[in-house]
């Protein structure tokens, strides 16, 4: 199941490039092109589901089972002080790509001196690939 106009589906099928962190038959993990902080990672199911409510529960379980392993690798790779996990559903919730994805955003003690969410920026492809390589090395998946 995929959608022709979906950017994540075209990344999964290889038609569009992205900085890859992890891939298995069910999931792809890539760097967000507009990171809140360097190391901002997206966990994406290979199948196209517009939002979390369309995903069968076993797939939701698998998706969220992968999240801590990726988060641990992100935190270790960029030496973060903490991290946010976020998953937006619908335009009202600021979901930009209508294909389920979980944001893992590394956070640093001093990254929001005004208490606001740090703003997104455009990262260079080199920067994304470099941090993706670092994260890759830190991934250790739990045996299930
Ligand atoms: Zn899609």
Q: pLDDT: is 32 or 121 the higher one?
A: 32
Is 99 a residue of the active site?
A: no
Mean pLDDT across the chain, nearest whole number? 94
Residue 53: both structure tokens together: 């409510």
pLDDT at position 115: 82
Across 106-116, average pLDDT:
90
Using the mean position of ligand 1's atoms as its centre, give its distance from the Cα of residue 1 in Å: 8
Tokens 């941090």 sit at which residue? Answer: 131
CB 28 within 8 A of CB 44: yes
Show the CA angle centred on residue 123, arms to residues 121 and 129, nearest 5°.
150
What is the whole-number distance in angstroms between the Cα of residue 4 and the centre of ligand 1? 8
pLDDT of residue 144: 62
What distance in angstroms lies between residue 109's CA and the mean position of ligand 1's atoms? 34
Residue 70 CA, ligand 1 centroid: distance in Å: 21
Q: What is the pLDDT of residue 1?
A: 55
Tell me: pLDDT of 7 over 90. yes
Specify the pLDDT at position 83. 98
Distance of CA 96 to the CA centre of its chain: 13
List C-alpha distances in Å: 129 to 42, 69, 92. Answer: 14, 19, 31
Distance CA(68)–CA(54), nearest Å, equals 22
Residue 15 has pLDDT above 70, yes or no: yes
For residues 93 and 116, the model is more confident at 93
> Can you tell me the distance from the alpha carbon of 111 to that of 21, in angstroms, rounded to the nearest whole number?
24
Check 40, 48, 101, 103 and give the catalytic one: 101
């Amino acid at each position: 199941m995929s959608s022709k106009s979906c950017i994540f589906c075209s990344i999964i099928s290889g038609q569009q490039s992205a900085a890859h962190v992890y891939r298995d038959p069910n999931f792809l993990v890539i760097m967000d092109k507009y990171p809140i902080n360097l190391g901002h990672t997206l966990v994406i199911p290979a199948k196209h589901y517009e939002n979390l409510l369309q995903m069968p529960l076993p797939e939701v379980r698998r998706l969220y089972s992968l999240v801590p392993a990726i988060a641990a690798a992100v935190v270790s790779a960029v030496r973060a002080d903490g991290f946010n996990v976020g998953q937006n559903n619908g335009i009202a919730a600021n979901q930009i790509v209508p294909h389920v994805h979980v944001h893992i955003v590394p956070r640093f003690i001093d990254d929001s001196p005004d208490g606001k969410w740090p703003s997104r920026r455009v990262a260079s492809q080199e920067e994304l690939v470099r941090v993706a390589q670092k994260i890759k090395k830190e991934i250790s998946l739990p045996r299930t």
